[in-house]
Amino acid sequence: MAEITKTPKDKEKKKVSIEVGDGAAIPSKEDRGLFTAWRVAFFGAIGIVIYLAVFKPDPYLDIMKFVPDGILVTFEVTVLSILLALVIGLFTGLGRISKNPIINGIASLYVEVIRGIPLLVQLFYIYFALGRIIQMPPLPSAIMAMGICYGAYMGEIFRAGIQSIPKGQAEAARSLGMSSGQSMYHVILPQAFKTILPPVGNEFVALLKDSSLVSILAVADLLRRGREFAAESFTYFETYTVVALVYLIITLFLSKLISIMEEKIGAES
């Protein structure tokens, strides 16, 4: 998220928040253009896949039969990585708001360092560089690298979510005899989770797309399976067309789920 400060002629300063994310655009009924584009892209991609499978089964249907296990691996990497990122992000977010200078400094340093290194470099570093010390299989290495990388982003999401809760909530909890830890666990975090669910969902979609990078570690995800089929059949155009369409359908489907979730949270609040 970036903040732009405007200074009008009357010297009054007004902050305008602009949200910028790596995830998919979330369709909403208020944005008719984006909502229409989502429907066209989603149903259009499904229609193209069906057309290719029915009218051009060779090679498209063969490709579609070859890649499903890669889709399962993609989801496995994504789900396990996001769970790891949530755990890391929670502790990082708590560290970022900690009054202890050492804890705050460690958490802040982690966020700055990890966010400053590309995910691809982190994948290579954990698998190849650290592999000289601790040898790990490709899949755990990929999950660890992606979890650590996205944990830094999740940490900022948790920090912002916790700080969005009015301070009076914590003060009221402490007035009832709760400690700082108890008020955080029983009062602040449950409210903060409702706030951070939409951005966490957006990061989930972004991580799903970035999971294609794990194919360089010989993890048999969707892209890797597509590369294997293309290398055997030399149908590069057809194979990568199917892979792109599958990624598009999955991403658009998940973005719609996030949109529904945002609407429900907005209705409850």
Using 50, 70 and 90 to split pLDDT, how confident is the model at 28? Answer: low
pLDDT of 44 above 90: yes
List of domains in the chain = 20-268 (1.10.3720.10)
pTM: 0.84
Range with the poorest average pLDDT among 33-47, 64-78, 212-226, 227-241: 33-47
Among the ranges given (8-17, 50-59, 223-232), the one the predictor scored with the smallest mean pLDDT: 8-17
Q: How much is the mean pLDDT over the chain? A: 86
Assign 143 a pLDDT band (cuts: 50, 70, 90).
very high
Cis? peptide before 59, omega within 30° of 0:
yes
Choice among 53-67, 86-100, 122-136, 208-222 with the minimum mean pLDDT? 122-136
Q: What is the DSSP letter of 137?
A: -
Pick from 14-28, 100-114, 115-129: least confident:
14-28
SS3 content of the chain, % helix, strand, coil (to 5): 80, 5, 20
**Three-class SS of residue 221?**
coil
Please write the tens of the pLDDT for every residue from 169-200.
777 877 877 877 778 877 888 888 888 888 89
Distance CA 107, CA 39 (A): 41
Contacts of residue 33, defined as CB under 8 A and 6 or more positions apart, other chains included, come to none
